[in-house]
Structure 1
Amino acid sequence: MSEKLPGSSDIQGSAFGQRLRNFLIVLTAVVLAVAIFVGVRGPSPSGSLTALAETATPLETALANQQPTLIEFYANWCTSCQAMASDMADLRQTYADRVNFVMLNVDNSKWLPEMLQYRVDGIPHFVYLDEVGEPVAMAIGEQPASVIADNLTALAAHQPLPHQQGFGRTSELGESPAPKASAGEDPRSHGAQVVQ
């Protein structure tokens, strides 16, 4: 027969209690970490971008239907594009009856001519087109929903956009004649007079 030491059941009970407490702490930490991760991520941003792109107006339709258009150049990996996806979905819902929403993925080489035409060098890149498809303004980078909403309201009303970077006339790039150096002029002087 084994003898019990005085207080041995208390020691075993407290060891079990300690293990149970540690297990509950670890379980709580895991649950909180998962909740924070899911809460911070929210609905899958790339899924939102994908959904926006799948339901967007095709570019050809937008250019032919005589309705103003907002083109967004984006990429699924673009964190600013992801951050704006929810706002863009809300704006589309509000303005879809008056403005085309076109989504062009910069990772698709099909859109390279448009990327060159609208000088896309950062994303998100927004181009506002009037009803005949002429660009009237652009914006690059993450934009507040209120700024885009103000622009869409004006675009739909055929008014000047309140928040814009304008498009102006540009010169075609071509071969320019090389400047001719006069006798005694150092070509490294960039036109400055050399005093001797």
Structure 2
Amino acid sequence: MGNMSAVTDAEFEQQVLLADKPVLVDFWAEWCGPCRQVSPILDELAGAHSDKITFLKMNVDENPVTPSSYRVTGIPTINVYQGGQVVKSIVGARPKAALLKELADFI
């Protein structure tokens, strides 16, 4: 998690919804195998593209309110927020090439 900061329910509005650039939020959990597969890919993307988009992680076990309000039922779920709205949602693990393609509008 070198290039990605954690965000909590309490910080979500300020850090995500009110942000002036797009924000990617990786909803994950410690016990989730596919989450562990996607994490290093997202961390690498964060290192390369953090000038255009902010990369954050939210542990769904420690922060149940936000995932519930955005109907996050499967993890990993990667949501991109822009102007306070979800503009992209990716559910499930993807290889790096697929993530790059899906996030091309933002990075």
Please report the TM-score for the alignment, with normalisation by the length of structure 1: 0.47
2:5: which partner in 1? 56
Partner SS, residue 143 of structure 1 = coil
User: For 1:127-138, what aligned pairs fall within 5 Å after superposition?
Assistant: 127-130=79-82, 132-138=83-89
1:151 aligned to 2:102?
yes
User: For 1:158-177, what aligned pairs fall within 5 Å after superposition?
Assistant: none
* Distance in 2 (alpha carbons) for counterparts of 1:150 and 1:69: 17
Q: How many residues align?
A: 102
* Distance in 2 (alpha carbons) for counterparts of 1:150 and 1:126: 14
2:56: which partner in 1? 102
Match of 2:45 among 72, 91, 104: 91
RMSD: 2.0
Which one has a bigger Cα radius of gyration?
1
Q: Residues 118 and 141 (structure 1 numbering): CA distance in 2 closer, same or farther, change over 3 Å?
A: same
Q: Residues 75 and 145 (structure 1 numbering): CA distance in 2 closer, same or farther, change over 3 Å?
A: same
Say whether the 8 Å CA contact 2:16–2:81 is kept in structure 1: no
- Runs of at least 5 residues in structure 2 that lack an aligned partner in the other structure: none
Letter in 1 for 2:23: T
* Distance in 2 (alpha carbons) for counterparts of 1:62 and 1:115: 13
Q: Residues 56 and 69 (structure 1 numbering): CA distance in 2 closer, same or farther, change over 3 Å?
A: same
* Distance in 1 (alpha carbons) for counterparts of 2:60 and 2:69: 13
User: For 1:108-119, what aligned pairs fall within 5 Å after superposition?
Assistant: 108=62, 111-119=63-71
Say whether the 8 Å CA contact 1:57–1:100 is kept in structure 2: no
Say whether the 8 Å CA contact 2:25–2:56 is kept in structure 1: yes
Say whether the 8 Å CA contact 1:99–1:152 is kept in structure 2: no
Identity %: 25
Runs of 4+ more than 4 Å apart: none
* Distance in 1 (alpha carbons) for counterparts of 2:2 and 2:35: 11
More helix by share: 1
* Distance in 2 (alpha carbons) for counterparts of 1:79 and 1:52: 19
Cα offset, 1:57, TM superposition: 6.0
- Runs of at least 5 residues in structure 1 that lack an aligned partner in the other structure: 1-50, 157-196
Please report the TM-score for the alignment, with normalisation by the length of structure 2: 0.81
Q: Give the structure, 1 or 2, with the largest relative contact order (CA under 8 Å, sep 6 or more).
A: 2
* Distance in 1 (alpha carbons) for counterparts of 2:91 and 2:34: 11
